[in-house]
Structure 1
Amino acid sequence: MPKQPPIIIKANGDRVRFDRSSLLTSLVRSGAPQELANSVTDKVSSDIVNGKTTTHDIYTTAYGLLKTMKYHPIAARYSLKKAIMELGPTGFPFEQFIGEILKRQGYDVKVGVIVEGHCVPHEVDVVATKDDTHVFVEAKFHNQPGIHTDVKVPLYIHSRFLDIQKNLTKNGDTHTTHVPWIVTNTHFTTSAIDYGTCMGMTLIGWRYPESGGIETMIEEAGLHPVTCLSSLTQKEKNLLLAKNIVLCRNLVETPSLLESVGLSTTKIGIVQKEAKLVCSL
């Protein structure tokens, strides 16, 4: 009988069998050549202690190996989920981040907007328009792993949307399509997906939908957050976020942004080199 994979502990406390193929796929998706991905996966697998090793331990080991072997851009892409969580703790940089992604997709975007409803005004994280489409986005941010976005979120957002939509219709809004979106950096619960789908909402989360979640939107567009760059210290990342600078691409396109937080010419060159590789520019 084949030997069973060891038990590992997930961020939410669940105990599951270690899935070697999942780690391997994650590394390859981050840009690691197959040989490198196999090597890192072998090392991580050999360090797992049955029933004690956590998913965080696995991530930390794999990330550390990539950095040690000087594969910094791959390490940066591999750390994407953690990097998005580092946009906190308030969640406002995440709203800006989602706004920037939508801008790159051709939307006109406003972040943190008070929108009048039929009954009461509502604060909407991101309002985006393109052609005849009017999108109202709830950017649901979590800065801790293991937390899922449950059904209470689409229940509330759909109710809010109906109030907004009724007011828009009453006042003769010219957009033919109004759509409520929920974008989160974590997973949705099954009931949240079922309700959102039933009500015609657009849900975008980590690895959801299967055709491409938030990680796919980021990777395909090369819109990685500055928090994924290993060449920046945490203090430097926080200074950039405080200035509403959230995209690696911004650092490549406008070098003066790095000067504005006090980086030396040498350090700017190092950061820009990594940012270009991470964003495939």
Structure 2
Amino acid sequence: MKVVKFSGAIVEFEPEKLKKSLLKSGASHVAVDKILETIQSQIYNGITTKQIYKMAFGLLKKESNSHAAQYNLRAAIQMLGPAGFYFEKYIARLFNSEGYKTITNQTLEGKCVSHEVDVVLKKDEELAIVECKFHASRDVVSDVKIPMYILSRFNDLKDRKQTIFTNSDKISSCWIVTNNRFSSDAIAFGNCSNMNMLSWDYPKKDNLRHKIDSSKLYPVTCLTTLTLAEKDKLLVLDIILAGELIHNIQSLERIGLSQNRIKNVLKEVTELCKYLNHES
């Protein structure tokens, strides 16, 4: 069975690969096998992976909103656009959870020119700039030009006294974070230049997907009980993480949700973020 990928490439359908992604949603083996059986009975030669994804998402949603939300993670990250402003805020929240102090959207003076910096991090002796490369399409790869460019900015900023968290901050390292992937040359150059790199699948054991799943810091755009317009309104209210709704129910009232819908949203958030497990 041939399927058409997002990039347009034609490849063999891999049921085990689909099964693995479905299991990552938290759904049981029984539910996943049932979904896989349904999909295999309906797909045809030349179907797109996008259509298969929609089928899988719809079937998962019938099983559990929270499992569908988790399965929808990569698409939900892509909703933090279109320019990536909310993606920068999301990445700052992610680093906050790891004990970093963060500040977004800073203009810092370098030796030669000024630089607009997406996120600045501070933890212990490390003070780092973070460049967030957001892509609305999952086919776009960050190539070697990206770390080359970021390295030149870092070199212009490093060891220069800045007023960020204190009056005498000095940039000591840099990060590149993308919601997609890095090319092999980009990774090789970044490693050679001692740059910190984080993408959807890099590094292998502590990549963006792993960080999100392990911390349960899912973006509010994951939620299946909200419309796209409602998610956008929450982002404007600076509600970036689904878990932030647990202690900010009034934000759901502000965007016009009924009490019954608020109850459904909070149920999904609780299941998705495992709040009950944390509190027990």
Indicate the TM-score class for this superposition, using the shorter chain for normalisation: over 0.9
Please list the CA deviations of residues 240-277 of structure 1 after superposition, one character each: whole Å capped at 9, or x if unmatched. Answer: 11122110010012212212222222211111110111
Pairing partner for 2:177 from 183, 194, 201: 183
Shift of 1:47: 2.6
In the alignment, which residue of structure 2 is the partner of 1:106?
99
Q: How does 1:154-165 map to 2 (within 5 A)?
A: 154-165=147-158
In the alignment, which residue of structure 2 is the partner of 1:251?
245
Work out the CA distance in 2 between the residues paired with 1:195 and 1:54.
34
Please list the CA deviations of residues 67-112 of structure 1 after superposition, one character each: whole Å capped at 9, or x if unmatched. Answer: 1x23110000000000110111121000000011111111111011
In the alignment, which residue of structure 2 is the partner of 1:215?
209
Shift of 1:206: 1.0
Structure 1: stretches of 5+ with no match in the other structure: 1-5
Work out the CA distance in 2 between the residues paired with 1:158 and 1:36.
47
Work out the CA distance in 2 between the residues paired with 1:8 and 1:276.
36
| Segments ≥4 residues shifted beyond 3 Å | 172-175
In the alignment, which residue of structure 2 is the partner of 1:3?
none
In the alignment, which residue of structure 2 is the partner of 1:138?
131
Work out the CA distance in 1 between the residues paired with 2:169 and 2:89.
26
Work out the CA distance in 2 between the residues paired with 1:174 and 1:259.
41
Shift of 1:152: 1.4
Shift of 1:48: 2.7
In the alignment, which residue of structure 2 is the partner of 1:47?
42
1:90 aligns with 2:83: yes
Same amino acid, percent of matched pairs: 39
Task: Read off the aligned partner of 2:19 and give its amino acid letter.
Answer: L
1:35 aligns with 2:30: yes
So what's the TM-score if we normalise by structure 1? 0.92
In the alignment, which residue of structure 1 is the partner of 2:141?
148
Pairing partner for 2:270 from 270, 273, 276: 276
Work out the CA distance in 2 between the residues paired with 1:136 and 1:9.
38
Work out the CA distance in 1 between the residues paired with 2:119 and 2:29.
39
1:194 aligns with 2:188: yes
Work out the CA distance in 1 between the residues paired with 2:179 and 2:37.
29
Please list the CA deviations of residues 221-245 of structure 1 after superposition, one character each: whole Å capped at 9, or x if unmatched. Answer: 1110111101001111111111221
Say whether the 8 Å CA contact 2:159–2:172 is kept in structure 1.
no
Q: CA RMSD in A?
A: 1.7
Work out the CA distance in 2 between the residues paired with 1:188 and 1:209.
10
So what's the TM-score if we normalise by structure 2? 0.92
SS in 1 for 2:47: coil
